[in-house]
Each structure stands twice: as structure tokens, then as C-alpha cells.
């Protein structure tokens, strides 16, 4: 089940909200959660995860129960605590390696040795990369003594499987939600509910109106013969996918944060207008911030970070970015994509940052956009052969024409969408909304804003009922 679907919007979510709030304790305008409410959220989350693929409930159940049970032993002194820690890590990484990377390693080994190897054809459970990282961060923090083990299995299971952020993030570290897992410390007001609904509808609109429509152009490009493509069309594809993945991923993060708010949780922000950056370093401070924070805290710093020799630091950097690429998908183009960004970050740290600080802002901005757009072509390619073909086409290699009649047609057809997407990827809309809110009478805004949200929801529903293109990029994660 996905957020941008009729079953979720009009069946699952309303039922869960009604059941959950029916079990809250009311104290004036504040509704405090109960343990029964936690059970509702856990049951709903497992139902949500099992929708369409109930067999993977067994796997997530094993991951949850083993991590919880072993975390009770980890704080013990001596060998037993260390064994419990490493066993928990081995189970988490073992499940991830088997389901996500077994076929990749088999095929890579076969290609490297020339041996005939048959892939196992293992299906990838959705969300496994996200909830595995959440379990690992919990286990590591218990081992470090930063947090105490969660004694209540229901509360821990809810932390791992909470449906708002289960399949698409943001990656939530246990300490960020520890307090609110206790129902007595989690409360919701009408204002919280509205704020959450507002954020959810905005994210849903980004997903349906922008990401999905851009995705149609990306899909269309793949169906057109090579002879009909032009340099401009290759760039249209690259820009369209760069914007699609941003609005898709940030839209899902908005929806997750909004849903969490509706149930009394405060999830971390995941995107901060990355396409306004003026360097790759700044881009990664704004893009998928919870993933970057996770790798920094649990991989980069434990390896020594930058507090080591230059050679070791370079090795640490490439290790982190190779793993970052591999986290996104079990294919070499993802690894290359990660190492590509690692290389750019290294160059900026050693040389380019001084140059970028001296050039006009628009030059550094174009530099960032160009390199990120090329990286997205690598990210979305079926393999590195296709990635190199597409990048070559973007720069006119292989005799590709600059323009074509077909390109002109699609440029006119999608031109307005690109303009909306360019604007939407900047803070312009948010700043304009704040100005309007500050200049218009509060009573008028209190009346108009819900009408706008309702209108957006009606339009989204019309698109979904019509069976519009509605891809889900996170099946590969």
C-alpha cells in the first residue's frame, strides 16, 4: 500500500484515525495516547506493510523480536553483552544482505570469474533498507550506552514498523522518538492534527501533480527509439528525472512527517531545497538529510572521520559513499553514483571550495546543477552502459542531433510543467505563502486555507480515480 492511493486515503487512514482517537484520553483540548492506541498503530502498521506481500511480515517480525530481545542483554558487562550486540548486528545485516544483495553478489562474482552463476531471483521486501538502519542505530546506541533498551516490545515494534515512515523514510533514530513511544507522553491537539493534515496534503500534491507527471516524460523517453532522440531531449529526460525523484522523495517525506504529527510524533526533516545549493557539499546537507546523518554518525565517525591521516580520511570518505550508493540499490551504477559524489566532495574539500567561494553565485549554482543532473542519469540507468549512452547523448556524442521536431513537440507539451517544477523546487512558493498569510486578515486565512487544501485533495483524488500514472520509486530501496 502506498500513500498516494485511494485505499490508503479513503479506507485505511480514516479507519486508523477513528480507532486511534477513540482510544485517546481527553483532557480539555488535548488528547493523550494510550497503550491501546499504540496497539492500534502497531496493528495498522503491520497491516500496511503486509498489504500485497503478507509473507514478509515474518521477516520484519524476526528483525523486530530478535533486535528487541538481544537489546535487553547488550548492556550486560563482559562477553555476553558484546556477543548479544554482534549477534543483533549480524541478524540485521544478514537479512538485508540476503534479500537485497545476494543476487548482486552472485552475478558480480560470476562476471568477475567468468563462471556461469545463476541468480536466486530473491524478491526485495519494500522498506528493508529503512527499517534495517533504524534497528541498527538503536542497537548501536544501546551498546554505546546512549539509550536504555526499550522494555516494552509493543513500543519497540511500533518504532520499527510505524507506517508513516516505514517504506520511504525519513530514517528515524530511536532517541528522536523515544519519549513519544510512551503513550502517556504523547499528546495531540486539534492544531497538531491540522498541521499534520496540511503537511500531508502538500506532500501528496507534490507527488501526484509534479513527480508523477514528470515521471510520465521519463517513461516516455525510454519508449522512444534512439534515432528520435536529440541532445535537448536527453537533457529534458535528465532534468525531468532529477525533479521527479526530488518531488517523489520529498513529497513522501512531507507525507510521513505530516502523518507522524497527526499521531503525536515529531519526525526529522529530510529535505531542505537541495537544488538551490551552490556546491555538492551543500547539496548533501540538504538532500536526504536523515540518511546523510545516519552514515556520518554510524559509519564515518566510527571509522575516524577526518581526524585521521589524509590517506585514511580519503579511504573513509570513499567507504561511506560506496556504501551510500549500495544502500540505494544492488547494482554497480548505484555504487558508481555513490563514488561519483564521494569524488566530487573530495575535490571540493581539497581544491574546488576555494574556487567556488570566489566565482559568482550563479556560476557555482550551475556547476552544482550540472553535476547533480549527470549523477541522476547514472542513478536511474538500467546499467552503466545505458548511463554512458545517455550522458554521451546529453553532450552530442555519437552524432546525436541538437534538436528535432519530436523534441520540440514534447518541449511545448511539458514546458509549463517544468516551469512549475523549477519554482516548486525553490523556497519561492513558501515565502510567497508566508507573505500572503502575514498580509491577509487571519480570519480570512482560517477560512481560505482549509478550502485550498480540500481543493487539492479533491484534485488529487480525481487524478488517482482516473488511473493516472502513479509510480513508486521505493520498491528498489
Written as one string, the DSSP assignment of 334-362 is HHHHHHHHHHHHHHIIIIIHHHHTTS-HH
pLDDT tops 70 at residue 476: no
CA distance 204 to 201: 5
Mean pLDDT of 339-349: 96
- Integer Rg of the chain from CA: 24
pLDDT band at 440 (very low <50, low <70, confident <90, very high): confident
DSSP 63-119: HHHHHHHHHTTTTSSSHHHHHHHHHHHHHHHHHHIIIIIHHHHHHHHHHHH------
Residue 457 to residue 207: CA distance in whole angstroms:
12
**For residue 469, what pLDDT is reported?**
65
- Taking the C-alpha atoms of residue 425 and residue 396, their distance in angstroms, rounded to an integer, is 28
As a whole number, mean pLDDT of residues 310-332 equals: 94
pLDDT at 448 > cutoff 70: yes
The CA–CA distances, whole Å, from 192 to 96, 168, 457 equal 35, 22, 19
pLDDT at 226 over 90: no
> Per-residue b/e over 352-385, b at no fewer than 16 CB within 10 Å?
beeebeeeeeeebbebbbebbbbbbbbbbbeeee
Catalytic residues: 328
Q: What local confidence, expressed as pLDDT, does residue 342 receive?
A: 97
pLDDT, tens only, 235-280: 999 999 999 999 999 999 999 999 999 999 999 999 999 999 999 9
Could you report the per-residue pLDDT of 51-104, keeping only the tens digit for each?
Answer: 877 888 999 999 999 999 999 999 998 899 999 999 999 999 999 999 999 988
Q: What is the pLDDT of residue 124?
A: 84
pLDDT at residue 474 in the model: 55
Average pLDDT of span 218-230? 89
Amino acid at each position: 500500500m502506498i500513500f498516494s492511493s485511494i485505499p490508503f486515503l479513503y479506507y485505511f487512514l480514516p479507519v486508523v484515525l477513528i480507532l486511534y482517537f477513540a482510544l485517546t484520553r481527553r483532557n480539555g483540548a488535548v488528547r493523550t495516547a494510550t497503550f491501546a492506541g499504540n496497539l492500534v498503530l502497531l496493528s495498522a502498521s503491520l497491516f500496511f506493510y503486509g498489504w500485497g506481500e503478507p509473507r514478509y511480515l515474518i521477516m520484519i517480525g524476526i528483525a523486530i523480536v530478535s533486535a528487541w530481545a538481544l537489546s535487553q542483554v547488550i548492556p550486560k558487562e563482559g562477553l555476553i553483552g558484546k556477543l548479544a550486540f554482534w549477534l543483533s548486528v549480524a541478524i540485521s545485516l544478514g537479512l538485508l544482505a540476503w534479500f537485497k544483495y545476494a543476487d548482486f553478489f552472485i552475478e558480480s562474482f560470476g562476471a568477475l570469474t567468468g563462471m556461469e552463476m545463476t541468480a536466486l531471483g530473491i524478491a526485495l521486501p519494500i522498506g528493508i533498507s529503512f527499517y534495517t538502519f533504524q534497528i541498527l542505530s538503536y542497537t548501536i546506541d544501546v551498546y554505546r550506552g546512549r539509550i536504555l533498551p526499550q522494555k516494552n516490545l509493543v513500543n519497540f515494534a511500533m518504532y520499527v514498523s510505524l507506517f508513516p515512515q516505514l517504506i520511504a523514510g525519513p530514517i528515524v533514530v530511536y532517541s528522536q522518538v523515544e519519549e513519544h513511544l510512551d503513550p502517556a507522553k504523547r499528546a495531540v491537539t486539534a492544531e497538531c492534527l491540522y498541521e499534520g493534515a496540511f503537511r500531508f496534503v502538500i506532500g501528496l500534491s507534490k507527488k501526484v501533480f509534479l513527480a508523477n507527471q514528470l515521471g510520465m516524460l521519463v517513461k516516455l523517453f525510454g519508449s522512444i527509439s534512439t534515432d528520435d532522440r536529440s541532445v535537448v531531449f536527453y537533457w529534458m529526460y535528465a532534468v525531468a528525472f532529477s525533479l521527479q525523484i526530488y518531488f517523489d522523495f520529498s513529497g513522501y517525506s512531507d507525507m510521513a512527517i505530516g502523518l507522524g504529527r497527526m499521531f503525536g510524533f515529531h519526525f526529522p526533516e529530510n529535505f531542505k531545497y537541495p537544488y538551490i545549493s551552490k556546491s555538492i557539499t551543500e547539496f548533501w546537507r540538504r538532500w536526504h538529510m536523515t540518511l546523510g546523518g545516519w552514515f556520518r554518525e554510524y559509519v564515518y565517525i566510527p571509522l575516524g572521520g577526518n581526524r585521521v591521516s589524509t590517506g585514511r580520511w580519503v579511504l573513509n570518505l570513499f567507504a561511506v559513499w560506496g556504501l551510500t550508493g549500495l544502500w540505494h540499490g544492488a547494482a554497480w551504477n548505484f555504487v558508481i553514483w555513490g563514488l561519483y559524489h564521494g569524488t566530487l566532495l573530495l575535490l571540493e574539500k581539497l581544491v574546488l571550495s576555494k574556487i567556488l567561494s570566489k566565482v559568482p553565485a550563479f556560476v557555482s549554482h550551475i556547476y552544482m546543477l550540472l553535476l547533480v543532473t549527470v549523477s541522476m542519469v547514472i542513478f536511474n540507468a538500467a546499467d552503466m552502459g545505458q548511463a554512458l549512452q545517455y550522458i554521451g547523448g546529453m553532450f552530442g556524442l555519437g552524432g546525436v542531433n541538437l534538436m528535432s521536431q519530436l523534441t520540440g513537440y514534447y518541449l511545448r507539451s511539458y514546458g509549463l510543467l517544468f516551469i512549475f517544477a523549477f519554482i516548486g523546487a525553490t523556497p519561492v512558493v513558501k515565502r510567497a505563502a508566508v507573505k500572503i498569510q502575514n498580509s491577509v486578515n487571519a480570519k480570512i486565512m482560517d477560512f481560505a486555507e482549509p478550502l485550498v487544501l480540500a481543493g487539492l485533495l479533491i484534485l488529487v483524488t480525481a487524478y488517482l480515480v482516473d488511473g493516472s500514472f502513479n509510480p513508486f520509486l521505493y520498491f528498489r530501496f
